[in-house]
Copies of this chain bind each other. A is one copy, B any other.
Amino acid sequence: MTIKAKPKTSTNEGLNEADFLARYDANAFEHPSVAVDVALVTVHEDQLRVLLLQRDSHPYKGAWALPGGFVGMKESLDSAAARVLREKARIQKAFVEQLYTFGAPARDPRTRVISVAYYALVEYQKLQQLAQKPSHCLATLVVPWQGEAGGPVKLQSALGQPLRTAFDHQEVLGVAVQRLRAKVDYAPLGFQLLPKAFTLLDLQRVHETILGRSLNKDSFRRRTLASGRLRATGVMEQAVGHRPAEHYQYVPGITPAQ
């Protein structure tokens, strides 16, 4: 970017770089706050779920919000997102990706807060433990649009009650669903939402939940197996009331595009 530096003295011509930097005053302008918000997404019972925390202070007191936090002055954005995951959800390892940056001037009534949104894919079991606390909830995402149209989503409690959400987090989650739908066909996202071993039907149901539409079974099997990312374990499902399916594992293999 082109600087409009405002050094402490107005006679900054002819300085070398070291002198310039020493005189540079970062506080000459008022700055916005910068936060990260992380959508911890999982799939359960053919529904997209996301971890929300109930706010215990103003603004939006009592409303449900994505876990987040301000970005430290010496912390990268990715580190800040990882810290939020660690501190708010005790999660060390997960698929995490930057989503979009939200910066409407009035999105936070306190002051100007620019939020860099991330999303993370987590196996249901891990999130379910967290959501036991009364201030936590694993909300169901209700997507009121088809395909990759985009737009805000609605949130429901486990009992199907609509949840009051804070800030612009319905828009954030809308963009998260949009991204998931766009990437699930070619990137190994589905595996992140399942235990290490899973059946092909498990994986298909995850894809169907993300996409919001049913998929052709035969075609899904062929494509998925042809991708070379799955390894058969030889282990079968147990006690399922029908012919048991084989368990597969994800093989990272040659790095796929992104």
Contact = CB atoms under 8 A, between A and B. Distances in A.
Interface string A145-181: 0011110000000000000000100000000000000
Contacts of A55: 2-3
A58 B4 contact: no
A258 B181 CA distance: 13
Contacts of A100: 98
Interface string A89-110: 0000000001011111100011
Nearest to A16: B58
Contacts of A101: 77, 98, 101, 116
A1 B31 contact: no
A103 B76 CA distance: 6
A77 B103 contact: yes
A149 B59 contact: no
A29 B77 CA distance: 17
B1 A67 contact: yes
A195 to B, nearest CB: 29
Interface stretch (A19-27, A40-48, A119-127): A19-27
A111 B249 CA distance: 46
A5 interface: yes
Given A21-B58, A105-B76, A69 B2 contact: yes
Q: Interface on chain A toward B: helix, strand, loop, or mixed SS? A: loop
A69 B66 CA distance: 30
B114 A71 contact: yes
A115 B34 contact: no
Interface string A1-41: 11111000000100111001100101001111111110000
Interface of A: 1-5, 12, 15-17, 20-21, 24, 26, 29-37, 53, 55, 57-59, 61, 65-71, 73-77, 88, 98, 100-105, 109-116, 147-150, 167, 257-258
